[in-house]
Amino acid sequence: MPEIRHDPLLDRWVIIAPERAKRPQEMPPAEPTAQAQPCPFCEGNEKETPPELWARRDGRGAGPDSPGWTVRVVPNRFPALTTSSPVRHEHTGLLKSIQGVGAHEVIIESPGHEDGLADLPPSHLQSVLEAYRLRLRAAYQDSRLAYALVFKNHKGPAGASLYHPHSQLIATPVIPQNVRLKLETALKHNARTGTCLLCSLLHQERTSGTRVILEADGFIALAPFASRFPYEVMIAPVRHMPDFTDMRNEDLLGLAGMLKDILQRLKMALDDPPYNYFLSTAPNPAALEQEEWDAAHLKSAGHWHLEILPRQRPPAGFEWGSGFHINPGIPEDAAQHLREIGTKRGE
């Protein structure tokens, strides 16, 4: 039977409708994004990108913007936002706008064009996560930037315009609506109960175990109760940790192992599907005053986490018009399948 489930983190509802999986599909799947020639992200083509902002090098390179790197961060050549813009607010009646100040960076995850995160060793993924941490810290040195979102689009149907493995960071002068809703919901729960909402949710999920896929090295992966997409996965630290930028190197290595494991399971379960993932973490402390949020309150209420969304079907008219998502997959079944894949691999 269909079920309407509540997502406690965003105070929204999702329709779980397994019968929808049986409907006929006449539209062909989107073709993978064609390879760019030459690929600007491949090793040896460093001059095809703007000057690098950071890189993890293996000792072979002659210096910045040369070969010999394992992870490299560059400004996006076609940025959605740029730090060169001033912060200028404009109001015309009910309409308001802000000059497009912000930052847009590309994290090139490997010099190899065919490398996927699921296939890289944990030590390499640790360097990718280190880039996330360092570039978030760098973004928050600019008091104009309220929030920085790290995200990845894997394959064309998920929004990737280049095949080469990469993720991105976009920083904005306002806190995005989804982030704001999540933080406000967490703050309300904390004010009412004195506890972190996600900590309470993780405790309940660990007690039940039904939707837990894996727990290791201080991290947990689960299929959210109100998953928006089939095989949606959330990864979070078990201990309370509001800000990803506070992650220690050993934490990054544990997360790298968890992320690799989950991406491998999804690759096996769904034949390497297109997916998006994004990091939900604390906003720039400089932005809290204008939001009238108390930093100490937010630290006790917030809890960073990573959401992975396989994109087997796009949102359609009902989703856009209502705000509901219709998920034809049952989260408990997805969690069980992903657990079984780990068992078959001998874990």
- CA-CA distance, 37 to 39, in Å (whole number)? 5
Nearest residue to 298 (alpha-carbon basis) of 308, 310, 283, 309: 283
Q: From the DSSP assignment, how many helices (H) and strands (E) are in the chain?
A: 8, 15
> Crossing angle for the helix pair 249-270 and 331-344, nearest 10 degrees?
100
Amino acid making up residue 276: N
CA contacts within 13 A on the Cβ side of 76: 19
Query: How far, in whole angstroms, is CA 19 from its chain's centroid?
Result: 29
How remote is the C-alpha of 328 from its chain's centroid?
22
Residue 27's contacts (CB-CB under 8 Å, 6 or more residues apart) are none
Q: In the chain, where does DSSP find H-type helix?
A: 122-139, 177-193, 197-208, 249-270, 285-291, 295-301, 317-322, 331-344
Please list the residues that pair with 305 across neighbouring strands.
Answer: 280
Query: Which candidate in 154, 166, 189, 305 is catalytic?
Result: 166
Prior bond of 165 cis (ω within 30°): no
337 is catalytic: no
Cite the DSSP H helix spans in 44-176.
122-139
Q: Is 298:308 a contact under the CB 8 Å cutoff?
A: no
Cα(154)–Cα(78) distance, rounded to whole angstroms?
Answer: 19
Residue 182 in 3-state DSSP?
A: helix
User: How is residue 168 written in tokens?
Assistant: 């991105």
Euclidean distance between the first and the last CA atom of the chain, given in angstroms as a whole number? 34
- ∠ at Cα 183 (177, 188), nearest 5°? 125
Positions marked catalytic = 166
